[in-house]
Amino acid sequence: MKYVNPYQIFIIYSSLFILLIVLGLALSFGSYKVTFIDYLYSDMSKIQESVFTKIRFPRVLLSAFVGASLATSGACLQGLFRNPLADPGLIGVSAGAALGATSFIVLGSSFMQGSITNPYLLPISSIFGSAFVISALFFITKGFGKEGITYLLLAGIAVNAFAGVGIGILTYISTDSELRGLTFWTMGSFGGATISMIAPALFFILISFIWIFRESRKLDILQLGESEAYRLGIDIKKLRFSVIVSSAIIVGISVSLSGMIGFVGLVVPHLSRILGGVNHGFLLPSSALIGAILMVLADLLARTMIKPAELPVGLITSAIGSPFFLWLIFRIRKL
């Protein structure tokens, strides 16, 4: 790993080890009694095996990838905007993705009924929605300098409000079956995950990870300012395109599969900085791993706190992220 010191490498491998333990716990606990050890030793009934392979395993896998996606996107957007409060949910990127997805659910699905591309049009709609919001935010806040943090948050409030109006109108005109689908977006859930549904999505998320991780050094140089980065040979337009498109893909796909889950993209990059430093060669992979750990644990709590019922996972992440966000505001005020 280039530009990463031994301590940061230790943090990354420790996070990977913790993630493996958390995945094992998440696979072993739930409303239905079936454990990962039983699966390894083939000591389970057909019903238990079906629950493990068709319900629990896809859900845990999806939660890990969504957590990694939102955290990595948050770290990338904070680097692009040079703003510690940039977060896919807070600045409206997740809302834009949800608006794109709900627009397809209500307006587009009837026109594409029976099409072989139908399962993939929902995430594509989310990607377009998130890409539009990221691009708009970049141009709105460009040129404000140190005051950009204020205008970014104000723009995020406006985008979230606009998306809320759009989702509200779509909810009002939706049918009963569409309304049941739209309730999925309000608080987030991994309950509908299947291998056939998530496999193509995970492929594109991995490709986006590889794409953006290669830009980590350029994001470090960008922190010096756009003019200084340009003098050092960084193609700002190309870097901006890479961050916007890759973030749009991973946020759009994540929102299309899990709904709107807040604060992960805000909390996790700051935890990574506190643990190991600010260089993106460390920040991006560590954020992905810690984001996966946090989301798998949040989903595990959502499944087990009031079993056999389950809480929306978005409530768990908001309960964690809201106090952290307030602490971050007070911390920035003191600087």
Query: Are residues 259 and 70 in contact, defined by beta-carbon separation less than 8 angstroms?
Result: no
Looking at domain 6-91+192-334, does it have CATH number 1.10.3720.10?
no
The dihedral region occupied by 277, where left means phi > 0, alpha psi between -120 and 50, and beta the remainder, is left
Distance CA 97, CA 257 (A): 11
**DSSP string spanning 220-253?**
HHHTT-HHHHHHTT--HHHHHHHHHHHHHHHHHH
Distance CA 6, CA 158 (A): 43
- Torsion, Cα 126 321 334 74, to 10 degrees, reads -30
Which residue, 10, 11, 66, is CA-closest to 288?
66
Provide the H-helix boundaries in the chain.
Answer: 6-28, 36-40, 46-51, 57-81, 93-103, 118-141, 148-173, 176-182, 184-187, 195-213, 216-222, 226-231, 236-258, 264-276, 280-304, 313-334
Radius of gyration of the chain (CA): 20
In whole angstroms, how far apart are CA 222 and each of 100, 229, 232? 30, 5, 10
| Residue where the block lists tokens 């239905």 | 32
Which residue, 249, 46, 31, is CA-closest to 128?
249
Which residue, 128, 133, 80, 85, is CA-closest to 103?
128
Q: Is the peptide bond before 308 cis (omega within 30 degrees of 0)?
A: yes
Total number of residues shown for the chain: 335
Distance CA 214, CA 298 (A): 29
Read off the tokens for 272: 């990574």
285's CB contacts (< 8 A; 6+ apart) are 1, 12, 213
Which residue, 38, 37, 32, is CA-closest to 56?
32
Look up the pTM and report it: 0.86
Q: Please list the pLDDT of the chain residue by residue as tens digits (335 residues).
A: 567 888 999 999 999 999 999 999 999 888 777 877 877 777 777 888 888 888 889 999 999 999 999 999 999 989 988 888 777 877 788 888 888 888 887 876 555 554 434 567 778 888 888 888 888 877 777 766 555 566 777 888 888 888 889 888 888 887 777 776 677 666 788 877 788 878 888 888 999 999 999 889 999 998 888 888 888 888 888 888 888 888 888 888 888 888 888 889 888 998 899 898 889 999 999 999 999 999 999 999 988 888 777 888 888 888 887 887 787 777 766 65
